[in-house]
Structures are given as C-alpha cells and as structure tokens.
Structure 1
Amino acid sequence: KSTTITRITRFGFTYFDHKSTVLKAIDIPANKASEFINTIVMDYNLPSKGSFLLGLTYSDDFSWDNIEYLYSPTMDGKYRSLTLFKNGDSITNTASFFIVDVNADWQLAPDLLLIQTSKSYLGGFFESSKQSIQEVPHVLTLDEAKQLQQFFMMIAISNLAGTLGMNLTYPSLT
C-alpha cells in the first residue's frame, strides 16, 4: 500500500533561456496603422486579433499604453511574451510603437511527493515500509501565472529601457 505523506511545492525553473528583440516603429501614419497591426498579428502568430485591436483602439493620446501576451504558439512548452507599447498623437495623426518580443524556453521546477510504501507479510504479522520521493509536474496557480506575467513584463521594460539608452536589470534566476 502506498500513501502520499506530503507534497512539497517548489518554485522557480529547472531551465530558463530566452531571446529578446525590440522593434521600434515611430510616427506611423494613422491610415497605415491597421495594416501595421495586421502585420504584427500575423508575424507574431498572436492568438486573438480582436482584443489586440480593441486595446489599441481605446488607448488615448499623450500616454503610453501597453498590451501583454503570454502564450505558446506551438503549444510545446516554449512560451513567447509579446508586449506592445503604443502612443498615439492626434496632432500629427500618427502612432508610435515599441514591440518587445521575449521568446522563452523554460521548464518549471517539479513538485516533490513524499511517498510511504508499506508491505505486510504473513497475514500482517510482519510489516516493512520505505519512503521515497517522486517528482511530479508543477501546475501553475492563477497567482503564479500572474507573477510569471509580471516577470516577463520586467524583462520587456528592461529591454525597452535598453533601446532608449537606459540600463535596467531584472533579477537573476539563479
């Protein structure tokens, strides 16, 4: 008979690697913005064109808005974080964009199960038991998913700052 004694939840990654790129598009004429956005949707294989366009449509002048995506285009554990920063200018009738693409390959650290296995002999007269540890995949909670999204936002802001000549760093993963 096997009994799980406890589940030890581990946080962090067993593996993390990423490549980041920043695309800067300044003063795109309003009549070309839809074409530009459609190209972004296709090039980055975004999951939902409607919400992406909706976010851009209702952003206002003189402030930088951002839209974040964290998704796995090929559903193979390799995730992509795309953050688009957008600013509209109604005076010049243009829009400016910074697109931060973080193409990441990572694996969450597995949780551990502490298992006790018992065997009885001679009708229960003798019993032996042993304990073992088994790794099981960690399933993200909603809070952990939000933290992961914030982590990718920090990478995006750091990359955007680097493009603008500022030096920002994000926490080490080791």
Structure 2
Amino acid sequence: MGKSDRRRDINSMNDSPSYTVSLEPLSAAAFAPFGDVASRPTGERRRYLPTMQNRADEAKSFSLWISGAVTLGRLPLRATMLERHPYSAQTFVPLGSARYLAVVCSAAPDGDPDLTMLRGFIASPDQVVTYARNVWHHPMTVLDAPMEFAVAMGVTGLHDDDVFFGLDVAVTIVMPPARL
C-alpha cells in the first residue's frame, strides 16, 4: 500500500482533478519525511520526541493544550482543508484508545500543498505523532470513538502560527483495497 495506492483521478464532467488517498498503517519509517512517530512509554520512565523542538527562533514560547478531535466513525473521508505550522513542529499525544488518521503531504515549490504527494496513515492509540515544521496535514480525525489529544508546539504570538489551505478539489481518504 502507500505511495503506489495513491491515485489522481480526473472528473470527466468538469475536468477538475480529484485525489484518492488509500490509508496505510503508521510506522516511523513511512512517516519519516513528514515528522516522527513514537510509542507512548510503557515500562520506561520517559520517551523523548526527537523533532519536538524543531522550531524557528521566532517561536520562543512553548504551548501545550488539550484538543478534541472530530470523530468520523467510518470512511471515506472528504478532506476540505489542510494546515501547516511554519514556525514549529506540532506533536499530538492521544489521550484515549481510538485509532486516528494522519494525512500529510509536502509543499510544492510555490509553498502550497503538493496534493500529488498526499499520504494517509492509520495511527493506533499508543502512537504519538509529531508533524515536522511546515508539513501540510489534515486536522486530527478519529475513527473509533471521541478522543482528545495533548498538543504541543512552539508559537510566536506575533505571526500566523497556523496556516490553513482550503481544498478546491476533491480529496477522498479511503481504506486500502482488500488484498486478493
């Protein structure tokens, strides 16, 4: 699954592009171009998150908050926006037992999301995700039950710490096709 399952479809009625992203299991290796994945510590006192401090000098303040996520319940998901954080990495620590989605892509040369590079991952509730600085990502979406996240990132307090991009093309997130 993964990159080979991602496809770009052309809608014959209006020639506008559409993108279908097939989800894959979240692993540190697959997610490495976009940030870090760590397991919540079990049996050890601490686990440090490598890119947690990936931030610009302007992001002098550290912010930690609790955030609720949209509970989807089932797929497919029609993505309507992406976001990025130009001054800091952003870490999500799940505070429940639901699976959640991490949908990401890198930036195109003009800085907008490169939708041809979209990837979607299913994270288990024991996986902590850190989106690297400037990585485009979909807002947190939970599959199984309502869940909150502890969220941490550096903030400037002066600039746009959150940049949003409305998707004017169809982007659909789906479960991977069953293997034959």
State TM-score, norm by structure 2.
0.30
Larger Rg: 1
| More helix, by proportion | 1
TM-score norm. by structure 1 comes to: 0.31
User: Greater relative contact order (Cα 8 A, min sep 6): structure 1 or 2?
Assistant: 2
